[in-house]
Structure 1
Amino acid sequence: MRLATFNIENLGSDDDDAAPIEERIAVLRPQLERLRADILCLQEINAKKKVAGVRRPVDLVRLIEGTAYADYTLDITAGLKGKGPADVHNLAILSRYPVLEREEIRQSLVTPPTWIRTTAEPCDTAPFPVGWDRPIQRLVVELPGGTPLTVFNLHLRAPLAAAVPGQKSGPFAWKSISGWAEGFFLAAMKRSGQALELRLAVERIFDADPDALIAVCGDFNAEDHDTALRIACAAEDDTGSGRLASRVLTPVERGLAADRRFTVLHHGRPQVLDHILASRALFGHLDEVRIHNEMLADELVAFGRIAQPPESLHAPMVAEFSL
């Protein structure tokens, strides 16, 4: 069983600086085919075009035409109104296996914390909820032999400061360090809230079946040592309890050599921001992990020097399990 995750980056964008979809397909389709995934988790799937009044991921459908994925079950998340996908940044899973259950989790297990912004202009007069827009996608698929596998797909908040009223002078420019610092704190709160909601969803599964096969895939916008990933994994040295060791989730890429272990290049620094986490029962079947990063461009260099880049600046990751 081959399980893959790929932040495909704004597939279906109609921005002026976006590459034409034909050019994106020419680059991305070979990447998808190389993965040979039985289950493929995708992030940043846009659905700006409407069919019969409902948004549809038409560019994703075009991308997988003529590939094995065209015959897979496609599950895509809904927007905040619940009427079809959102216009941007949807999550999608393509599965070769039958889908037994599906769920979208968005602030149903965690009540968003409230905050009064101290640097806002004008000042907040009452606390506001620090919520998050992106859901967590959960599927249960039936593996050969009838074994259920739970797959989570997610995209956590990026480490870019959240907007604070009256504190920004441009899309990426701030009027004060205090305003930026509070915005950065709010972004971290959103990312941690998403990670907590994921962990609580995982705990529900372990409560029902301590030996459950669970995989969590996606763009965490966090490295192995960062808060969001530590919340998701719940390692023994964090909980301090060997009794809880069976509930730990483990990043499968830890077994790769350091010089091959990166999914993003940021200003020359290799980072693993995309992960596949496996429960102990699933990890016991792990055979191989690969990150297809051979042609990965530096995201800062690409932003400044490449006009309409068709590729994603995230590398896909694939794990193979003997199931």
Structure 2
Amino acid sequence: MKLRIATFNLENLDDQENQNPSLEKRIKVLRPQLLRLKADVICFQEIQGQETVGEPRDITALKELLKNTPYEDYNMVSTKTQGSDEVYDKRNLVIVSKYSFEGEPVQVKNSLLTPPSYNYVTDTGADADQAKEIKIERPIFYVKIRVNDDTILHVINLHLKSRNASNVTGQKINQFAWRNSSAWAEGYFVSSMKRVAQSIETRMLIDSIFEENPNAKIVVCGDFNAHPKEVPVEAIAGKVANTGNSELNQFEMVACENTIPESSRYTYIYRGQKRLIDHILISKALMPFYRTSEIHNETLEDESVAFALDSKFPESDHAPFIIELELESVE
């Protein structure tokens, strides 16, 4: 039994009236990409929520994209605002699965890790002398998928904090310009804190799953906004090379990208540099079933360069990453 699992950041998928490119134009490009995946499970990032009068905010743009594809009939769950049936207005995490979900999805945000406090140096606000909590902004999304009578797959979908500098009160001239380099550097540092904190909380969630079942089959997918060997990826992987404790070997998470040729090992292009910031990591218990990885980056464009407007490139600025398992190959 082959099982294909993908992660795909769809870059602000929305259906705004005046957006360019329109959702219709985006669907023409994105739908063939989804069909090519032939996935059984897809973890999506950057799915915007749409407003419908009298109804809870919903992910209607994604549902429109999935029409007339096999995924239209898949089971679907999405992140929700606290205590509500509404999705977030921006950057929802969505998981679609050919197989049924076991129990309710779980959102983790600032619940396993106490947010650290930090005194800004360049802040010029009225409360500049007071320490502020550096909270994680985006939830970690966790589901259990019942693949067959014998197999529960634990799937974690992530979108870690971007590499853009966080706001520092009084230090922005406008949306794009900073008053001085020190303020920008501090904002960049704060974003790094948020990204690392989210990766630590993810690792804590992974360890809690292992506490219940040391042989748990875990897949962590998503946009990490971090390169291989950077702290967020290393924190989630939990390598013995870092912990120095061989007793933790079976709890390592293995980066599937390592089986992709280095020349093709990228999901994003920024100012001419090919970067791998989307990842899929699997637990050691899944290694006997792991067969291959693919990154569909043949048509990926560098949207960071001059005149590379979204209107020219209706596709996503991320490439989808997919792995294939063969669950019946091991008794």
TM-score by length of 2: 0.94
- Name the CA distance, whole Å, in 2 between partners of 1:200 and 1:15: 41
The letter of the residue matching 1:229 is V
Equivalent residue runs for 1:1-150 within 5 Å: 1-12=3-14, 14=16, 16=18, 18-50=20-52, 52-80=54-82, 82-101=84-103, 102-122=105-125, 124-150=128-154
Q: Does 2:245 correspond to 1:229? A: no
Residue number among 214, 217, 220 corresponding to 2:218 in the alignment: 214
Q: Partners of 2:306 and 2:293 in 1: how far apart?
A: 27
The question of whether the paired residues in 1 share the 8 Å contact of 2:303 and 2:310 is answered with no
Alpha-carbon distance in structure 1 between the residues aligned to 2:13 and 2:172: 28
Q: Which one-letter code corresponds to 1:204 in the other structure? A: S
Q: Could you say what the CA RMSD is over the residues aligned between the two structures, in angstroms?
A: 1.5
CA contact (8 A) 2:57 2:87 kept: yes
SS at match of 2:209: helix
The letter of the residue matching 2:274 is P
Deviation per CA, 1:281-304, whole angstroms, max 9, x where unpaired?
112211111000000001313764
Give aligned-pair identity as a percent: 37
Q: Does the 8 Å contact 2:143/2:154 carry over to 1?
A: yes
Q: Identify the residue that residue 239 of structure 1 maps to in structure 2.
A: 243
Residues of 1 paired with 2:296 and 2:95: CA distance?
19
1:190 aligns with 2:191: no
Give the counterpart of 1:284 among 274, 279, 288: 288
Q: Per-residue deviation at 1:128?
A: 1.5
Q: Alignment partner of 1:225: what SS?
A: coil
For residues 306 and 170 of structure 1, what CA distance do their matches in structure 2 show? 22
Pair 1:246–1:113, CA change in 2 (3 A) = same
* Off by >6 Å, runs of 4+ in structure 1: none
Distance 1:146 1:283 in 2: 17
Of the three residues 147, 160, 181, the one matched with 2:164 is 160
CA deviation map 1:203-260 (0-9, x unaligned):
0011111111000000000011111111110111111111111111011011111111
For 1:217 and 1:29, the matched residues in 2 are separated by 20
Q: For residues 301 and 3 of structure 1, what CA distance do their matches in structure 2 show?
A: 31
Name the SS of the counterpart of 2:31 in structure 1.
helix
Give the Å deviation of 1:82.
3.6
User: Is the CA contact 2:21–2:310 (under 8 Å) kept in the aligned structure 1?
Assistant: no
Give, as a single letter, the amino acid of the residue that structure 2 aligns with 1:150. H
Question: Which of 258, 265, 273 does residue 262 from structure 2 map onto?
Answer: 258
Query: Residue 69 of structure 2 aligns to which amino acid in structure 1?
Result: T
Q: Quick one: structure 1 residues 124 and 202, their matched pair in 2 at CA, closer, same or farther if it must change by over 3 Å?
A: same
The answer on whether the counterparts of 1:18 and 1:309 sit within 8 Å (CA) in structure 2 is no
Q: Which moved more, 1:266-275 or 1:77-86?
A: 77-86
- State the SS of the aligned residue for 1:231: helix
- Looking at structure 2, the residues matched to 302 and 143 of structure 1 have their Cα atoms a distance apart, in angstroms, of 46
Superposed displacement of residue 40, structure 1: 0.5
The verdict on how the C-alpha distance between 1:268 and 1:312 changes in structure 2, with shifts beyond 3 A counting, is same
Distance 1:92 1:302 in 2: 32
Contact 1:45–1:57 (CA under 8 A) maintained in structure 2: yes
2-side partners of 1:91 and 1:201: how far apart?
A: 17
Encode CA deviations 1:85-141: one digit per residue, 9 max, x unaligned.
010100000011110032111111111111121111135132221112210110101
Q: Could you tell which deviates more after superposition, 91-100 or 296-305? A: 296-305
Comparing 45-54 with 200-209, greater Cα deviation is found at: 45-54
Out of 283, 300, 304, the residue aligned to residue 304 of structure 2 is 300
CA displacement, residues 63-93 of structure 1 (integer Å, 9 cap, x when unaligned): 0011110111110001256441010100000
- Give 5+ residue unaligned stretches, structure 2: none
3-state SS, counterpart of residue 301 of structure 1: coil
